Amino acid sequence: MTAGSRKSIYLVLGCTVSAAAAQILMKAGAGRALPPIAPADPGTWVPFLIGLISNAPLFFGYAVNGITAILMILALRDGELSMLYPIIALTYVWVNIASIYFFDEKMNFWKAVGILMVIGGVAWMGRAAETGRKSPERQNLEPQG
C-alpha cells in the first residue's frame, strides 16, 4: 500500500465521521419548525430561506456535508474508488451509535446484525483490494489451481 492510498483511506474514514455528524445535525435541525413554503408563491421563499439559514443545526449539517465532499474529492485523487467507496458504508455504523446517544433511539438485534455485516463487509473489501493488487510477477509465483 502506498503512502498516497493510505492517506486516501484516512481521508475517507474522516468522511464517514463527518457525514455521520452532518446527518445528526440535520436530524436535530429537522425537528425545528420552519415557515411554510409554497413553490408557486415567491412571497413564501424568503421567509423559508431565512428560516433555513437561522436553523443552526440544519445549516451546519449542510456545511459539514460540503466539508465531507471536499474530503472525498481529496481522497479520490490518490486512491482507488473500488477500495475507498465501500468504507463510506461505515457512516451507517456511526449514525446508529450517535442516534442512540443523541436521540435516545434503541438498538435491536437486526440493527446490530446490520452493523456487524457492514463492518465485516468493509473489512472483506479491504482484504480483497489488497489481494487484487499483487504484482504480475508475484501472481505467477503462486500455485495455480
Report yes or no on 140 lying in a domain: no
Q: Which of 42-51, 81-90, 111-120, 136-145 has the lowest mean pLDDT?
A: 136-145
Report yes or no on 56 lying in a domain: yes
DSSP label of 39: T
Distance between CA 33 and CA 86 in Å, rounded? 35
Query: Which residues have C-beta within 8 Å of that of residue 105, sequence separation ≥ 6?
Result: 96, 99
Report yes or no on 49 lying in a domain: yes
Counting residues of the chain whose pLDDT is more than 70, the rounded percentage is: 88
Domain count, the chain: 1
Report yes or no on 104 lying in a domain: yes
Q: Give me the domain span that covers residue 130.
A: 3-135
Report yes or no on 98 lying in a domain: yes
Report yes or no on 142 lying in a domain: no
Q: Which three cell numbers stand for residue 117?
A: 455485516
State yes or no: pLDDT of 42 exceeds 90. yes
Query: Which residues have C-beta within 8 Å of that of residue 110, sequence separation ≥ 6?
Result: none
pLDDT given at position 145: 54
Report yes or no on 17 lying in a domain: yes
Q: In this structure, are residues 48 and 9 in contact, taking their beta carbons and an 8 Å threshold? A: no
Report yes or no on 145 lying in a domain: no
Distance between CA 42 and CA 15 in Å, rounded? 36
State yes or no: pLDDT of 69 exceeds 80. yes
Q: Give all strands (DSSP E) within the chain, no chain letters.
A: none
Q: At residue 13, what are phi and psi to the nearest 5 degrees?
A: -60, -40
